[in-house]
Structure 1
Amino acid sequence: MFRFSSVIIILVFSVLSASSTALEVNDLYQAKVVVDSQDRAQREQATKKALQGVFLKVGGKKSVLAHDVLKKAQKRASRYVSQYRYQRKDDQLSLIVSFNEDKVNQLFEEANLALWGSLRPQVLLWLIDEQGVSRSIVASDADSIIPSSVNDFSTQRGLPIIMPLMDLTDSTQVVLSDFWGYFPEQIQQASLRYFADTIVVMRVSDSSLVDVNENTVESNTLNDASCGLLCEQQELVIPKVLDWRVFTQGIRYTQKYQGVDKVSLINQGLSDITELIYQSYALLASAESDFVIEVKNVTSLTSDTQLFNFLTDLSAVKAVTLISAQGDVRQFKLDLIGSKASFLASLRLNNKLTQQFDGLLDDFSQTQQFNNPENVTVDLNNLNSDPALSETLDNSVTPSISNPDVHIDKITQETNPTVENSGTLNANSVDELTKNDPLQILTETITPPTIVPKMPVFYWEQG
């Protein structure tokens, strides 16, 4: 955990203890597609769909699929295949396609698109399902379509997502009202046993979260005993609302959606959360830079070898050069793929190398990434509701909306704005950031500054 003087830096509502580490995600360059037969025409179409799935996993966000370079590559997807095989399970036939990692990465480099490496944060999802007057936290083994849909999403996007067991241990620690009320301390305490890097609380409701006016027509129809079959049809389209909250880098992000299909709403929420996480760790090849770091506590030849291999294996690092070695201190020049902020973000997923601060502010510079010790709520549904706040933001953060895309279900259309950061967030004067459109979705976030020294110093955890 980053520390400067007595200020503790907060990261992604995480439990960054010694046991909290990211996961190495396998098969990022592999995808499975359901097919009807093994004929060539179906295989070619399925291969194109599989390549699109790989682009989404390593590209992190849906917008990459619209890039001309990747769209062109999909038309000749077979050129990028390394192997394929068929699998039959429960009378369902699937084509499993593996693609050449180097060739796919070259496409992203050609398109100047960022790559998301295989080391990814584990996400703990607390999902509260409210049906009428009944509320429950969905367990990982619940007799419901929700856990399986979450698992499918996790596989498709390459993001490790787990749900709570809701066993005897959870029953003694979890108070449902704490989660429904988004109480951060209680949520964090209940989540400790799962050692997750990121904690998400999601609520989906067909009652208390739904606007009364939106539900009036449906309620009147359902209360009419003479409506017969019409009542059964109306029950299928009862409006639902989903919202979620993620605490990331000292900022509390929240978002809200409405629709009629619960699974679609959950997938939309998870998709936006994935893109929120992706922004911190994506690597842009065109943004390559050199970075000199100092590492302490390297006390043996074994430690030297382990440290060098550790740095070399980082997806954000292209090459490592040892500059100097004196006592237990080493200095390295790193050729980075992407920005220094992306490199520092990737280190937060592994506690082998922790950054040390000496308390001297003079040697520090600021970059646009993490670590604002103040808590700020970013409500992406109501960004301009406060005129005074909007005036404050004019001098710090300038949001803009671009590239709208239609989203979610057949009834509700939603747009994906991009919020761009053109300055430094003033956390002391901003308590809540809001936006007008009640159905707008987050794709980019407002990021506070991080404190990065000109010569960052790290401590190597041996063993």
Structure 2
Amino acid sequence: MPRLFFSLIFVFAASIASAAEVTDLYQAQAPVESQSEEDRKRLAPDLLKQVVIKVVGDRRAVEQADISALVTDAERYIDQHYYQQISTIDNDTPTQQLALTMDFNANGINTALQRIGLPVWDKIRPESLLWVAIDYQGKQQLITEGDEDSLVLQIQQAAKKRGIPLLMPLMDLEDQSQLTFNDVSTGNTTAVNQASERYGASIVVTARLSGNAESAEISWQAILGEDTERWSSQGNVQTAIQQGVDELADRLGRRLNMPISSSGDTELAIQVSGVNDFEGYSRLMDYLGSLQVVSDIKVGSLGSEKLDLVLVIQAEPERFRQLLSMGRVVQPDSTDNTGLQYRLLP
């Protein structure tokens, strides 16, 4: 069998700078044999559980909770379902397969999770920039999103299943001048971080996988702020990739998700500087309104390019402040010690 090598070292920026909205957070998909009602009803509980894991962000938290009643009543939460042909991997080769897609009701799911006591990872999530070096069938190269490679498809599908926004490099002349195959395959974090600056991603990813299509082992490393975490995954390539991405999502989810407050709304007063025109004001309000845990925004005074706001949130304020800085729209004022003053980014 051909030898397969590519590397996976996850390097997280010290502070989360860029994020994207996951638009299919309450959607799940699975291959299906037919469009029969029997197959649809049989798959509904499994697809709902996929959504719960994606929304909560942490498989361990879901497994420790009792979601049996929610899953058993899966059809109650379906907004719509449809069928389509999707790309899947068969013997390391992309192929077409009929799939069932279900969209579940976001408010209904969130209310059920609140009753169960499970946290919710907001739909605004950090973007991951993924550099992948492959040494496969005698070829050494850095792959991009546009490459027709089964590894790209498997990584994208694994990230989509867990609601992780994924970026891949352009590998244009600028990238090629800053980063070599050896930089990525050996995890040269200095070179990788420098090449990644242009993308503004929150999470920078490089890598290491060894083995072949049938038997692979991936060693993962994550630097999250001042913490370094490592884990590994094994199996065929598709399984090893999904297990590794699952673990990444779990660790991110535990850091960034937050329980929906059962004690009612909390008001949080903040001040945002740098709001000097209507475009900036609209961008700020659109961002705040997109956050699931923000139920209302009360606008106060605007003076000297500083906007006073009172946010009505359904979350613990300290965890919310961490989320607020994640979207590359505002950042904490470095001269403020209260955690209540922010600056609108350009």
TM-score (norm 2): 0.80
Quote the offset at 1:142 in angstroms. 4.3
Q: Which residue of 2 aligns with 1:147?
A: 152
Residue of structure 2 equivalent to 1:48: 45
For residues 314 and 244 of structure 1, the distance between their equivalents in structure 2, rounded to whole angstroms, comes to 30
Secondary structure at the residue paired with 2:261? Answer: helix
- Report if aligned partners of 1:21, 1:350 keep a CA contact under 8 Å in 2: yes
Q: Secondary structure at the match of 1:149?
A: helix
Aligned equivalent of 2:308: 331
Q: Return closer, same or farther for 1:43/1:327 CA change in 2, 3 Å cut-off.
A: same
Worse overlay, 283-292 or 103-112? 283-292
| One-letter amino acid of the counterpart of residue 248, structure 2 | I
Alignment match, 2:128:
123
Counterpart Cα distance in 1 of 2:278 and 2:85:
50
Q: Residues 80 and 67 from structure 1, CA distance in 2 versus in 1: closer, same or farther, beyond 3 angstroms?
A: farther
Counterpart in the other structure of 2:343: 459
* 1:354–1:460 contact (8 Å) kept in structure 2: yes
CA contact (8 A) 1:22 1:119 kept: yes
Matching residue within 33, 36, 39 for 1:36:
33
1:374 corresponds in structure 2 to none
Displacement of 1:269 after TM fit? 1.7
User: Is the contact made by 1:34 and 1:94 (CA closer than 8 Å) also made in structure 2?
Assistant: yes
Kept in 2, the 8 Å contact 1:291–1:340? The answer is yes
- What's the offset of the Cα at 1:327? 4.7
What is the alpha-carbon distance in structure 1 between the residues aligned to residue 293 and residue 178 of structure 2? 38
Match of 1:444 in 2: none
Q: 1:265-320 CA deviation, whole Å, 9 max, x = no partner?
A: 22222111122222333131137644221223445677666644543332332333
**Which structure's residues are more often strand, by fraction?**
2
Instruction: Kindly report the root-mean-square deviation, in angstroms, between the aligned alpha carbons of the 2 structures.
Output: 3.2
Match of 1:321 among 295, 298, 323: 298
Cα distance 1:33–1:249, how it changes in 2: closer, same or farther (>3 A)? same
SS in 2 for 1:107: helix
Give the aligned partner of residue 3 of structure 2. Answer: none
Shift of 1:106: 0.6
What CA distance in whole angstroms lies between the structure 1 residues aligned with 2:163 and 2:64? Answer: 20
Query: How many Å separate the matches in 1 of 2:155 and 2:278?
Result: 45
Q: Between Structure 1 and Structure 2, how many residues are aligned?
A: 326
Q: Which residue of 2 aligns with 1:244?
A: 220
For the 8 Å contact 1:69–1:107, the answer to whether it is kept is no
Equivalent-residue separation in structure 1 for 2:104 and 2:115 (angstroms): 17
The answer for the alignment partner of 1:5 in structure 2 is: none
| Distance in 1 between residues matched to 2:111 and 2:234, nearest whole Å | 39
Distance 2:168 2:283 in 1: 34
Separation in structure 1 between the aligned mates of residue 238 and residue 213 of structure 2, nearest angstrom = 13
Is the CA contact (8 Å cut-off) linking 1:15 and 1:195 kept in structure 2? no
SS of aligned partner of 1:74: helix
Aligned pairs for 1:130-141 (under 5 A) are 136-141=141-146
Alpha-carbon distance in structure 1 between the residues aligned to 2:280 and 2:169: 37
Q: Counterpart of 1:343? A: 320
Aligned to 2:20: 23
- The alpha-carbon deviation at position 184 of structure 1 amounts to 2.0
What is the correspondence of 1:168-183 to structure 2 with a 5 Å cutoff?
Answer: 168-183=173-188
Query: Displacement, 1:335?
Result: 2.6
Change (3 A) 1:301 1:46: same
Q: Aligned partners of 1:303, 1:170: CA distance in 2, in Å?
A: 31
* Cα shift at 1:30: 1.6
C-alpha deviation, 1:192, in angstroms: 2.9
* Equivalence for 1:61: 58
Q: What TM-score do the two structures reach when normalised by structure 1?
A: 0.62
Say if 2:83 is the partner of 1:78. Answer: no
**1:96 corresponds to 2:71:** no
Are 1:271 and 2:276 counterparts? Answer: no
How big is each residue's C-alpha offset from its partner over 1:389-421, in whole Å with a ceiling of 9 and x where there is no partner? xxxxxxxxxxxxxxxxxxxxxxxxxxxxxxxxx
Q: Distance in 2 between matches of 1:306 and 1:259?
A: 44
Taking the aligned partners of 1:357 and 1:15, their CA distance within structure 2 comes to 13
Q: What does 1:173-252 correspond to in 2, within 5 Å? A: 173-206=178-211, 240-251=216-227
Deviation at 1:83, TM superposition (A): 1.4
Q: 2:167 aligns with which of 157, 162, 167?
A: 162
Partner of 1:345, secondary structure, is helix
Aligned to 1:114: 119
Residues 69 and 111 in structure 1, CA contact (< 8 A), matched pair in contact too: yes
Could you say if the C-alpha distance between residues 73 and 114 of structure 1 is closer, same or farther in structure 2, counting changes exceeding 3 Å? Answer: same
Kept after mapping to 1: 8 A contact 2:222/2:230: no
SS for the counterpart of 1:158 is coil
Alpha-carbon separation, structure 1, partners of 2:145 and 2:303:
51
Query: How far apart are residue 348 of structure 1 and its match?
Result: 2.9
Contact 1:56 1:157 in 2 (8 A): yes
Percent of aligned pairs with the same residue?
A: 22
Contact 1:115 1:284 in 2 (8 A): yes
SS in 2 for 1:286: coil
- Report the secondary structure of 2:292's partner residue: coil
Give the residue type in structure 1 aligned to 2:48.
L
Alignment CA distance shift 1:257-1:173 (3 Å): same
Query: What is the CA–CA distance in structure 2 between the aligned matches of 1:349 and 1:177, rounded to whole Å?
Result: 31
Once the 2 structures are TM-superposed, how far is the Cα of residue 131 of structure 1 from its aligned partner? 6.4
Q: 1:123 to 1:305 in 2, by over 3 A?
A: closer
The one-letter amino acid paired with 1:13 is A
Q: Is the 8 A contact 1:14 1:199 kept in 2?
A: no
> How far has the Cα of 1:190 moved from its partner?
1.9
Report how far residue 44 of structure 1 moved: 0.2
Q: CA 1:258 to 1:43, structure 2 compared with 1: closer, same or farther past 3 Å?
A: closer
Please list every run of 5 or more consecutive structure 2 residues that lacks an aligned counterpart in the other structure.
Answer: 1-10, 87-94
Aligned partner of residue 327 in structure 2, secondary structure: coil
Pairwise CA distance, 1:139: 3.8
Kindly indicate whether residue 289 of structure 2 is the aligned counterpart of residue 312 of structure 1. yes
